[in-house]
Amino acid sequence: MTQRTPEQIARVSGTVSSVQATPSALAGFLFALAATVIWSGNFIVARGLTDTVPPVTLAFLRWATAFAVLFPFGLRPFLRQWPVVRRRWRYLACTALIGITLFNTFLYVAAHTTTALNLSLIAITSPMFILVFARLFLGEIVTGRRLAGVAVVVCGIVLLVTRGDLGRLAALQFAVGDVWMLAGAMLFGGYSILVRRIPEPMEQGAFLFVLFGLGALMLAPGAWWEWQQGLRFAFTPVILGTMAYVGVGASLVAFWCWNKAVAVIGPAQAGMVYYSLPLFSGIEAVVLLGEPVSWVHLVSGVLILGGIRTATRP
């Protein structure tokens, strides 16, 4: 059998690979940006479900929906790459457990026991964990300019989530939900590294097919336990529409874009783009909820975008 070179592997359309993919760096940043924009909307949409749908059930329905939508498109790539799946099932099961089963469930659990301000502040630690893990496990260099960019971005995010009143930081009260959120941020960092270190190239359809299926399967016992405990809800049109958004947009589309971004520009660079999530959440709150625009939004936006540009410039 002829051995493929890394360049030939990278040219295979729609694959997740540990080698540098052929699309330009700009395409990688656009993929990361698309995933971040979708996830920022997920924070607004899913927030209304935390008091209605139990956390594990919400996570299970989200990934079951994503798997059902992907099924007719991902079944053929899955069958085609079954030998790879069979060889790497331990890696795939671990990635599904961390990135699908645990990460999102931790976020939903955290939303029940802590404030939105705490969630916003702790969420920005995900790129920091990605940066640290990329240095430890991938050997990526952490430059002074990247650290300076991170510092500027963090200042912008803190200004945004506190709405210019830094005194709110002194009044923060930490709860058990903050621990869940911090653990979730670490898990997302670990997932990004695992996506980058995939042992063998896989088509995106097959890769997500396995991850979504295994992730939903591992969530099923927890969802059943919540149902048995009487934690039930009614499937209203609002809940069904919201579930469709988080299942298709925030799961299928966003994770596809994020995996592509990590394959092209690496987890650390993609993580820098993830810092813009609070900025887009603020913009969507202005557009969808009619929240007023103030100097805080403008200054924080300049700091966040400027810091990302500084940290990701070649």
For residue range 18-41, list pLDDT tens digits in order.
Answer: 334 445 788 888 999 999 888 877
Q: What global pTM score does this model have?
A: 0.78
Mean pLDDT confidence for 207-211: 95
Mean pLDDT confidence for 268-288: 74
pLDDT for position 257: 93
Q: How far is CA 186 from CA 21, 175, 200, in A?
A: 26, 18, 24
Mean pLDDT confidence for 108-136: 75
Confidence of residue 4 (pLDDT cuts 50, 70, 90): very low
pLDDT for position 270: 85
Confidence of residue 84 (pLDDT cuts 50, 70, 90): very high
Ranges 54-58, 100-104, 292-296: which has the least confidence: 292-296
For residue range 170-184, list pLDDT tens digits in order.
Answer: 666 666 777 888 898
What are the extents of the domains in the chain? 23-312
Mean pLDDT confidence for 217-240: 89
pLDDT for position 66: 94
pLDDT at 201 over 90: no
Confidence of residue 296 (pLDDT cuts 50, 70, 90): low
pLDDT for position 122: 72
182-212 burial, b for 16+ CB within 10 Å, e for fewer? bbbbbbbbbbbbbbbebebbbbbbbbbbbbb
